[in-house]
Amino acid sequence: MANMLDWNTLDHKVKAYLDLENGIDTPQKAFPILMVASILGVSDEEAEDAITDGGMDRGCDAVFVDDREGRNSIHVFQFKYVTTFDNTKKNFPGGEIDKLVSFFDDVLDENKGLEKTCNPLLWNKVKEIWTALNRPTPSIEVHFCGNTEFMAPAEFDRANTALGKYKYFHVNHHSLDTLVNLFVDKKAVAIDNQIQVVDKDYFDRTDGSIRGLICTVEATEIVRIITDPEHPETVQKEIFNDNVRVYLSRTNKINRKIIETALSESTPLFWYLNNGITITCDSFSYPKGKRAPIIELKNIQIVNGGQTSNALFEASKIDLKKLEDVLVLVRIIETRSQPVSLAIAESTNSQTPIKTRDLRSNDDTQKKIEEAFEGMGLFYERKEKQHSDKPKAQCVDALTAGQAHLAYGLELPEVAKKDRGRIFSDLYDQIFSDDLLVDELLVSLRLLSKIEGEKRKVQDSIRNQVDFNASKIFLIDGAYHVLFAVGQIADKMGIDRLDLEGTSTLIPTAINIMSQMVAIEQEMDETFSFNRYFKDSKTKTKIAAHIENQEFAV
C-alpha cells in the first residue's frame, strides 16, 4: 500500500515537469509526459508528442509507436492523476475500457471512418499504427497508468479479458506503488541465494581481489533465484538494480525469440544461441571437486542477462516442465568494489545506448561544452537528468543539443528525427567536432525551442478543442525540418546562421513553405503520413530545392 512519502515523491517529480510558458500548467498535463518518458525511456519531447488526450481521443490519452533498434511496439496509454493523497486510495477508473476496445476494433479493421471520430493528434497516430501493423511481428502494449490503486478486481479482469482477446496484445497496470519505484532507489536489501551447477561444468579463477566462476546451470535455477519469494507470480526486481537495461516484455522481438527457443524442441541449442547471464556478488563459495555443487551467493545482482532471465520467467509460466531441459551459461564474479561492479555491468551491456552516452559524457569535448554553457549561466547535461535539481529552462540536454545541431548545422533533419541514438555513436565526432562553436549549439536549440513553441500551440488547441490552423499540424512531426528550412532560407538571404535575432524572424516563412509543400504531398498521396514523410531522406532535398527556387525580400 502506497504511503504519504510515495505520494509526495511522485508529486514532486510531476511538478518538476510543469512548464507554464509551454502550456504544461497543471499536474494533470505534466503527469502523462513524465510517465511516457519514464516508462518507455524516451525523451521529454517524444513523450509530449505522444499525448493525444482531449476531445475525440477515443479513450487514448497517449500513443507511442516504438521502432527503435528493430522494435515494432505500439504503446497506448490511459492516465489518471489525482492531486490529494486521500484520492490515491481510490481505484483506477475502468469507465474508459469500452471506448478503448471500440477504438482497437476500428484500428484493426482499418476503418477509414476513424478520421471523423478521432482528434487530429490521434488520427496522425492511427496512421502510424497502421504502418506498424503492416511491418513484421507487431505488438500492442496497453498501459493503465495512475497515481491511485489498481483497478477494482472486476474492472481489472474486464480490462484484461476485453483487450486480451486481440493477438499480440499485452495489458500493463501501473499504480502509485509501482510508479514510485521508477524513480526511487530505495536502500538495497542484500539478496543472498544459492544456485546449483550442472555436473562438473564449471571453471574457477582468481585475480587479486576479483574471483570468477563460469558454469552451466538449468534455466529453472535462474527462474527460482529471480522469483519474488513474497509474490511468486512476479520477479524480484531488486536483483536487477545494477543492470543498465530494463525488461522489455515478452512482446519485444528478441525476448519473444528467447521464450520460443526455450519452449521449442531445440532446447539443447539454447546454451549455444544465448549470451548467458552475468552475476556479481560480494562472495561465493562451494565444495570444490564435487559433481553438481551448490554455490552459496552473498548479495547478488544480475548485471547482464536481464532480458534472458525475465524471458525465462515468462516461459516458466507457460510450461515450467520444458525448462528443465534448458541449460544457461552463467558467469559469477565476486567483488566488493562498486566501481568494478558497475564497470562489469557497463562492459557486458555494450549494446545499450545508455552506455554510449555515459561513456561520451566524460570526454574533454563534453566537459569543455559544459564549461562554456556555465559561462552563459546555463547547465549543460552531459549525462541524462544531470541537473534535475536546476530550473528546467536553464538546462541544456546534450542529446537535444545534438539533435538540433544535426538538423540545423549539419543539415540532417531526418536523422535528428528518427536516428537520435547515433548522436553518441557513429555520428559523435561529426556532431561534437573540435571545430564546434558552442554558439552553434545554442542558436540551434533556441530556434528549435521557438519552433516547438508553435507546435505546442497546435497541440494545445486540439486538446482544448479550440480553433487552430490545421495547416500547421505537420509541426508535430516536422519541427526538425522547419529548423532545417530556416537554415536554408538564411543562406539564401545571406543572413548569418548564428544571428539568432535575424534567423528567428525566418521561422514563420519556413513554416509557411513547409505547410504548402505538405499540402501538395497530401493532395498527391491519399495514404500520406507525416511520420513517413519526415523520416524520408528525400524530403530534405525537396525542401532545399524549393527554397533555392524562391525569391525572398532582403
Taking the domains of the chain in order of start, what are their residue ranges? Answer: 4-180, 193-351, 357-548
Rounded to the nearest 5°, which phi and psi values hold at 410? Answer: -100, -5
Q: What is the pLDDT of residue 71?
A: 76
Q: What is the pLDDT of residue 56?
A: 92
pLDDT truncated to tens, each residue of the chain (554 aa)?
678 878 888 888 888 888 887 788 899 999 999 999 988 878 888 999 999 998 899 999 999 998 876 678 899 999 999 999 999 999 999 888 999 999 999 999 999 899 999 999 999 999 999 999 998 888 898 999 999 999 999 998 998 898 888 878 888 899 998 888 766 543 356 789 999 999 998 999 877 668 899 999 999 999 999 999 988 988 998 888 776 555 555 555 567 788 888 898 888 889 998 989 999 998 899 998 889 999 999 989 998 888 899 999 999 999 999 898 999 999 999 886 655 666 676 566 544 334 467 667 777 789 889 988 988 899 999 887 788 788 888 999 999 999 999 999 999 999 998 888 789 888 999 999 888 889 999 999 999 999 999 999 998 888 888 888 889 999 999 999 999 999 999 999 999 999 999 999 999 999 999 999 999 999 998 888 898 899 899 999 999 999 999 887 66
Nearest-CA neighbor of 64 among 54, 56, 52, 55?
Answer: 52
DSSP 187: P
CB-neighbour burial class of residue 12 (10 A; exposed 0-12, middle 13-18, buried 19+): exposed
Other CB atoms within a 10 A radius of the CB of residue 488 amount to 21
The CATH number corresponding to 4-180 among 3.40.91, 3.40.50, 3.30.420, 2.60.40 equals: 3.40.91
Whether this model's pTM surpasses 0.85? no
Q: Are 331 and 208 in contact (CB under 8 A)?
A: no
Q: CA-CA distance, 207 to 214, in Å (whole number)?
A: 14
Q: What is the pLDDT of residue 137?
A: 82
Residue type, 487: G
Rounded to the nearest 5°, which phi and psi values hold at 328? Answer: -125, 135
Q: CA-CA distance, 5 to 414, in Å (whole number)?
A: 43
Q: Are 191 and 239 in contact (CB under 8 A)?
A: yes
